[in-house]
């Protein structure tokens, strides 16, 4: 119980000191919030892009386009190959005449297309793989290119692989930015606690003279740094939430022009918990380094 009361007293003392200096506390919290909001905002953006790409590529497909002069026998031969293939899960045949009709209805250029002497579109197959393994799909694509009367094979999820590579680079940049800003925040907390220690130097020296341990003296400063970091994490979450809300408003107006409804998601509960825990840890670490650095220098006479 004494241990619990000691921590509660240290917590109350730290909270009282933060409230007693509202302007300094606000500025420190804003520094924390802005610094943490930058990598957090970038991460949320990347997470939304990744989620959107996963929705688009939930079923990777191959599009097999035959030559324009492919006959019905050629089409049946391709069907037999697809039925027997180990990597093919399902496929759908698209007749060239049906494709032309759909293009005419969708493009609104019926007058232009009706002037064509012959149908320029080839027969096609839409093929789904049994798995989403990109290597197997790539192997199937390369094999299909060697089949008779197959002129072109398009891997519809190839762009997603490029996007995934770009997302990995983006995540690495976010990690590097987060590490650099975390070091800066530890330094900010270090200097903030250092000023607190220098302000209370006489009080600390008297406490050591009457038998106070370093742990007892250190505890309020650790709570001070941790609370400051926690408030900074809350400010970072608020900044990101406001930014997402403003962007969603603009995206809604932009999407109306194209008949879309894009929307960015907020930070999840798990992401928010990690952000607050990391912010509190950075504040605590900066305070611990500062107190440990200065306490051993104080040798009361």
Give 227-236 pLDDT, tens digit per residue.
999 999 999 9
pLDDT for 301 beyond 50: no
- Which pLDDT belongs to residue 238? 95
Alpha-carbon distance of 93 to 172, in angstroms, equals 42
What's the pLDDT score for residue 275?
92
Domains of the chain: 2-56+161-295 (no CATH), 61-156 (3.30.70.3040)
CB 224 within 8 A of CB 193: yes
What does the alpha-carbon distance between residue 104 and residue 102 come to, in Å, rounded to a whole number?
5
- Residues 82/83/88/89 CA torsion (nearest 10 deg): 140
- Average model confidence (pLDDT) for the chain? 80
DSSP label of 86: S
pLDDT at 133 over 70: no
Helix residue spans in 133-157 (DSSP H): 134-144
- Sorted by sequence, the CB contacts under 8 Å of residue 110 that are 6+ apart come out as 104
Range with the poorest average pLDDT among 47-51, 213-217, 220-224: 213-217
Position with higher pLDDT, 278 vs 59: 278
Q: What pLDDT shows up at residue 234?
A: 94
* Contact predicate 201/217, CB 8 Å: no
Nearest of 201, 204, 225 to residue 216 by alpha carbon? 204
What pLDDT score was predicted for residue 179?
92
Portion of the chain with pLDDT greater than 70, in percent = 76
Res. 46 pLDDT band, cuts 50 70 90: confident
Alpha-carbon gap, residue 231 to 21, rounded angstroms: 14
* 0.75 exceeded by pTM: no
- pLDDT category at 36 given cuts 50, 70, 90 is very high
């Amino acid at each position: 119980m004494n241990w619990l009361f000691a921590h509660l007293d240290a917590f109350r003392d730290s909270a009282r000191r933060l409230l007693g200096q509202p302007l300094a506390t606000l500025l420190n919290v804003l520094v924390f919030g802005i610094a943490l909001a930058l990598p957090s905002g970038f991460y949320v953006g990347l997470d939304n892009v990744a989620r959107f790409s996963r929705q688009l590529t939930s079923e990777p497909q191959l599009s097999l386009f035959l030559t324009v002069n492919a006959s019905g026998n050629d089409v049946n031969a391709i069907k037999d190959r697809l039925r027997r293939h180990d990597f093919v899960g399902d496929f759908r045949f698209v007749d060239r005449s049906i494709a032309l009709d759909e293009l005419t209805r969708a493009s609104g250029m019926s007058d232009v297309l009706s002037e064509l002497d012959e149908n320029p579109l080839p027969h096609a197959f839409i093929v789904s793989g049994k798995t989403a393994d990109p290597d197997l799909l790539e192997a199937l694509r390369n094999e299909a290119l060697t089949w008779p009367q197959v002129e072109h094979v398009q891997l519809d999820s190839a762009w997603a692989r490029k996007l995934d590579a770009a997302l990995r680079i983006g995540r690495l940049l976010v990690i590097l930015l987060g590490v650099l800003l975390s070091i800066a925040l530890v330094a900010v907390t270090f200097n903030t606690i250092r000023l607190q220690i220098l302000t209370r130097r006489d009080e600390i020296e008297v406490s050591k003279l009457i038998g106070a341990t370093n742990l007892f003296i250190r505890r309020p400063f650790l709570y001070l740094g941790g609370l400051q970091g926690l408030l900074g994490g809350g400010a970072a979450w608020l900044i990101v939430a406001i930014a997402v809300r403003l962007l969603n408003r603009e995206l809604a107006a932009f999407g109306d022009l194209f008949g879309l409804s894009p929307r960015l998601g907020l930070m999840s509960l798990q992401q928010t918990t990690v952000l607050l825990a990391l912010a509190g840890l950075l504040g605590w670490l900066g305070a611990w380094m500062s107190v440990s650095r200065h306490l051993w220098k104080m040798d009361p006479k």
